[in-house]
Amino acid sequence: MGKSKKGTAWEREFSKRLSLWWTNEENDAVFWKTSISGGRATSRTNKGKATKNHYGDICATDPIGQPLMDVFTMELKRGYNKNTIADLLDKRESSSEQVYEEWFHKLIETSKKAKTLSWALVVQRDRREPLIFLPSTILTELLDHRKNAYLPINLLEIKNNKNEIPDVTGLRLSDFFQVIFPELIGKLLKDSK
């Protein structure tokens, strides 16, 4: 079954927003949604073929955006109003895997196939602000490059005791865009090599 129109519209909107952030409001066409939301890359990987830059939901359509795609495989989720990150905080030991856990597991695997440094999940429920979730260690490394600057943001850190997924930090997407600069992504990528 294909993506909803709402999900596809969100991918287009996010791509433009991401492009503007990456280029300091100069270009809205650096990133775009991938072919069949990464399905083409997954299908080709399953056949033993590589498909560079088409994992996840977003890819760079301009070479200046490639550093971001080398750091993050990105997945976008729109809607899912009945599912929240709180489902991970208050779930019982015996509970089945929650939707956010499924998303994190899938994204971790996709990131490995894409050979990116890390991953990011962007979620927007109806009539809510979009949130971004990423491994806590990556966000910490990015923030360390800011040289202890004051951060006017709220963070939610999800600790995972079972080591199935790494510790995850979530914040508003607008806060991420406010405190993480493209230069920090470049420094992180350089430090990882």
pLDDT digits (tens, 9 = 90+) for 127-162: 999 999 999 999 989 988 776 555 656 667 776 655
Across 18-22, 49-53, 92-96, 101-105, the highest mean pLDDT is recorded for 18-22
Q: Which residue has the higher pLDDT, 168 or 17?
A: 17
* CA atoms of 64 and 129, how far apart (whole Å): 28
Bridge partners for 171 per DSSP:
132
Mean pLDDT of 96-117: 92
* CA atoms of 86 and 83, how far apart (whole Å): 8
pLDDT of residue 88: 84
Q: Which residue has the tokens 């997945």?
A: 75
pLDDT of residue 30: 98
Binned at pLDDT 50, 70 and 90, residue 41 comes out as very low
pLDDT of residue 93: 82
Binned at pLDDT 50, 70 and 90, residue 4 comes out as low
Q: Percent of the chain at pLDDT above 70?
A: 78
Mean pLDDT of 86-115: 90
Query: Is the pLDDT at 36 greater than 60, yes or no?
Result: no
Phi, psi torsion values for 121, nearest 5 degrees: -110, 125
User: Which helix (H) or strand (E) segment is 40 a member of?
Assistant: helix 39-46
Query: Is the pLDDT at 184 greater than 50, yes or no?
Result: yes
pLDDT of residue 29: 97
pLDDT of residue 21: 98
Please state, rounded to an integer, the average pLDDT across all residues of the chain: 84
Closest CA to 37 of 69, 7, 79: 7
Contact 175, 154 (CB under 8 A): yes
Binned at pLDDT 50, 70 and 90, residue 2 comes out as very low
